[in-house]
Structure 1
Amino acid sequence: MTLHEPIGQHQMRDFLRAEAEIEPDAPATGPVTKETQIIAIYGKGGIGKSFTLANLSYMLAQLGKKVLLIGCDPKSDTTSLLFGGRACPTIIQTASNCKQAGTEVTISDVCFKRDGVFAMELGGPEVGRGCGGRGIIHGFETLEKLGFHDWDFDFVLLDFLGDVVCGGFGLPIARDMCQKVVVVGSNDLQSLYVANNVCSAVQYFRKLGGNVGVAGLVVNKDDGTGEAQAFADAVGIPILASIPQDEDIRRKSANYQIIGNPDGRWGPLFASLAANLASAPPVLPNPLDQDGLLALFDSSETGADFRLQPALPEDMCAAGALNAPSLEVIYDTV
């Protein structure tokens, strides 16, 4: 049968049945063979992902690696530290402008570079004007049109917000778009709650046949109290680096200064992180339940020893209200 021959109803039915009987290719389960390492970094908003990634990507470039940093946060602030506080045009806004002008988006419109690091921002809708997750999906569709899968990089680092659970933000995990995930956290309950959620997502999609694993945890603003280390031990992932809570780091970051420089004070720290990131295998984590997460902290600080007290119906209304007469209107029959 050729595509030019008329197909009757029965022929079409038989053709579709035969096509449906063809088994699809099995999902890949072997070792990663693609040379480019695509790594998604997740963490609670404000935990320091952008700070970590800007300095990490800069260090990787100084070590001779070709690096692409993609900000996948609607705030579009991933690249601000890398570019000295300047905001670069986002892919979503640029694509919208080009569509209105009847032109096509080009690499030069959305990708910018500094000292060997290539960087871009997906962007997102304004508050109340669209779905951030859908914006992420649209941004990656544009990247694919620009040739994303053919680009030649040693590392592609994706900066994702971890405390937003809609589908677009889980895209790299759900669709095997990356080989491994890194979580950024600190010694506080909320950031480790987000890290635990990311581990749960990885575990869920691995059970569905996915291949993404967790490379490890970066502890930012480490004050030495140890909860992040305890969390990593409990879920079975390594600590890739611990960035101390230090005034010099805070001040330089606030002034948009890169500290991930081989010749600087913090060069060895980010060089070690770069090496650990490259070599860490993607592992399957064992996320904690809520009680297990709370147990990492002193109960006097978290309220973990609190016991739930059920509410009663009489708590919800004023005294006697539960026995109020019915408001049903009964009409006399004629």
Structure 2
Amino acid sequence: MKDDVTKADAPKLKDDIRSFDQRLREEADADLADVLPTETTKMTQIIAIYGKGGIGKSFTLANLSHMMAEQGKRVLLIGCDPKSDTTSLLFGGKACPTIIETSTRKKLAGEEVAIGDVCFKRGGVFAMELGGPEVGRGCGGRGIIHGFELLEKLGFHDWDFDYVLLDFLGDVVCGGFGLPIARDMAQKVILVGSNDLQSLYVANNVCSAVEYFRKLGGNVGVAGLVINKDDGSGEAQAFAEAAGIPVLAAIPQADDLRKKSANYQIVGTQQSQWGALFAELGMNAAVAPPVRPTPLDQDGLLALFDGSETGADVVLEPASDADMRGKDAEPKASLEVIYDDA
């Protein structure tokens, strides 16, 4: 879509956006919430993965996609995080040219973007990054929407994949970041979290977004939770049970995994000691039906943790007008009119 739009272009632009929205809905129109795990479907599964920044989505996705490809599936991995780090592990730390920056460069040169400019492959996985604007120079969510508009021009709806995995920043579920949920672009969501309050807070927010749009007639559901850096303390498992979603895998807090991830080594392969774990995750992610979650309120989240660690026993103490005015404040006469009973 052009950056500079004239008034004459506005009607066509609205039609293009409306058409794009409709195409996204048609891509994932079937409500899979009642599909049994034993049933199979030939349609492409579009799965959006959400989680708190730094929780390990990229690590999980790179290894999950690699394992799915080893299992004979055609997999497309799309990074939808402005940090553009989704494909880093898959490509050994090498930066993948993003769709947005490539489009900008090609446009200035008067050229069209080609598949080979933005999509790369390794181990049977096809991968690309949407990218985002420079700091302070644009909206990341709008960049996501623009990126998918470019994907449509490249033929996104005609591509033949068994799975399309979308890596979304879970801290924000508005605008472009909420695209898969708000516009029925995906059939289901996978959450990545850990046994800490902040990551489960983000996971719970995504559950709330899913439930909100289901009430509006949407079809997206939650397939389950992947517990990353699992130390066995149990809070993430308790959250999954309370929210009514399954745990798809528990990736342990292991020094070997940390080192391999830091060195951009793939462990989602049968040759790795962790291969069985990611093979099971691949199977679970494939067959898990999208369910309607039961989001927790703030007190419910805090109740998953030891109160001495979360401050759950804190009592709200109302502030007074004197508190707000400070120590030198002078009382002022009220302007309220008081009428006699007579």
TM-score of the aligned structures, taking structure 1 as reference length: 0.87
Query: Are the aligned partners of 2:89 and 2:261 in contact in 1 as well (CA < 8 Å)?
Result: yes
Please identify runs of 4+ aligned residues in structure 1 that moved more than 6 A: none
Q: Which residue is 2:18 aligned to?
A: none
Deviation at 1:129, TM superposition (A): 1.0
1:172 to 177, 180, 183: 180
- Residue 109 of structure 1 aligns with an amino acid whose one-letter code is D
Match of 1:104 among 112, 118, 127: 112
| 1:91 aligned residue | 99
User: For structure 1, which segment, 274-283 or 309-318, has the greater mean C-alpha deviation from structure 2 after superposition?
Assistant: 309-318
Cα distance, 1:264 vs structure 2: 1.2
Q: Matches of 1:239 and 1:181 in 2, distance apart? A: 13
DSSP-derived class of the 1:78 partner: coil
Fraction of identical pairs, as percent: 77
Work out whether residues 31 and 220 of structure 2, in 8 Å CA contact, stay in contact via their aligned partners in 1: no
1:163 paired with 2:171, answer yes
RMSD, matched Cα: 1.8
Give the equivalent residue in structure 1 for 2:265.
257
CA drift at 1:313: 1.1
Give, in angstroms, the shift of residue 323 of structure 1.
4.0
Shift of 1:322: 4.4
Q: Which of residues 178, 197, 203 in structure 2 aligns to 1:195? A: 203
Using the TM superposition, give the Cα deviation of residue 64 of structure 1 relative to its aligned residue in structure 2, in angstroms.
0.6
Structure 2 CA distance, aligned partners of 1:52 and 1:240?
12
Q: Which runs of 5+ in 2 are unaligned?
A: 1-24, 36-40, 334-342
C-alpha deviation, 1:259, in angstroms: 0.3
Q: Does 1:116 align with 2:149?
A: no
The residue aligned with 1:39 is: 47
- Residue in 2 that maps onto 1:283: 291
Tell me the residue number matched to 2:244: 236
Which among 230, 235, 238 is matched to residue 227 of structure 1? 235
CA distance in structure 1 between the partners assigned to 2:49 and 2:93 by the alignment: 21
Q: Distance in 2 between matches of 1:271 and 1:132?
A: 33
Is 1:73 the counterpart of 2:81? The answer is: yes
Q: TM-score, normalised by structure 2?
A: 0.85
Q: 1:29 to 1:248 in 2, by over 3 A?
A: closer
- What is the CA-CA distance between 1:153 and the residue it aligns to? 0.3
Among 277, 280, 287, which residue is 1:272 paired with?
Answer: 280
In 2, Cα distance between the equivalents of 1:72 and 1:293? 27
Q: In 1, are the aligned partners of 2:222 and 2:290 still within 8 Å (CA)?
A: yes
**Shift in Å, 1:30:** 4.6
User: How far apart in 2 are the matches of 1:149 and 1:37?
Assistant: 13
Residues 195-246 of structure 1: per-residue CA shift (max 9 Å, x gap): 0000000000000000000000000000000000000000000000000000
* Corresponding residue for residue 13 of structure 1: none
Alpha-carbon separation, structure 2, partners of 1:112 and 1:132:
23
- Cα distance, 1:243–1:175 mapped onto 2, change above 3 Å: same
Contact 2:192 2:226 in 1 (8 A): yes
Match of 1:218 among 216, 223, 226: 226
Question: Residues 30 and 323 of structure 1: is their aligned pair in 2 closer, same or farther, counting only changes over 3 Å?
Answer: closer
Aligned partner of 1:280: which letter? A
Offset from partner CA, 1:254-307 (integer Å, 9 cap, x none) = 000000011210000000000000000000000000000000000000001101
In structure 2, what is the Cα distance between the partners aligned to 1:39 and 1:28?
14
The amino acid that maps onto 1:140 is: F
Alpha-carbon distance between aligned partners in 2 of 1:249 and 1:152, rounded to the nearest angstrom: 32
Distance 1:30 1:87, change over 3 A: closer
Counterpart CA distance in 1 for 2:150 and 2:325 is 55
Q: CA deviation at 1:164?
A: 1.5
CA distance in 2, matches of 1:307, 1:125: 43
Letter of the structure 2 residue corresponding to residue 139 of structure 1: G
* Residue 311 of structure 1, CA deviation: 1.0
For 1:155 and 1:138, the matched residues in 2 are separated by 22
Q: How far apart are residue 28 of structure 1 and its match?
A: 4.9
CA distance in 1, matches of 2:327, 2:82: 49
Instruction: Name the CA distance, whole Å, in 1 between partners of 2:58 and 2:247.
Output: 18
Output the CA distance in 1 between the equivalents of 2:111 and 2:312: 57
CA distance in 2, matches of 1:101, 1:196: 45
CA distance in 2, matches of 1:265, 1:312: 61
Alpha-carbon contact 2:29-2:184 (below 8 Å) kept: no
SS of equivalent residue, structure 1 residue 58:
helix
Q: What corresponds to 1:321 in structure 2?
A: 329
Q: Secondary structure at the match of 1:160?
A: strand
Q: Deviations over 1:99-147 (max 9, x none)?
A: 1111111111000000110000000011111110000000000001111
Q: 2:73 aligned with 1:52, yes or no? A: no
Relative to structure 1, the CA distance from residue 30 to residue 221 in structure 2 (aligned partners, 3 Å threshold; closer, same or farther) is: closer
User: Unaligned 5+ residue runs, structure 1?
Assistant: 1-24, 326-334
Deviation at 1:319, TM superposition (A): 3.8
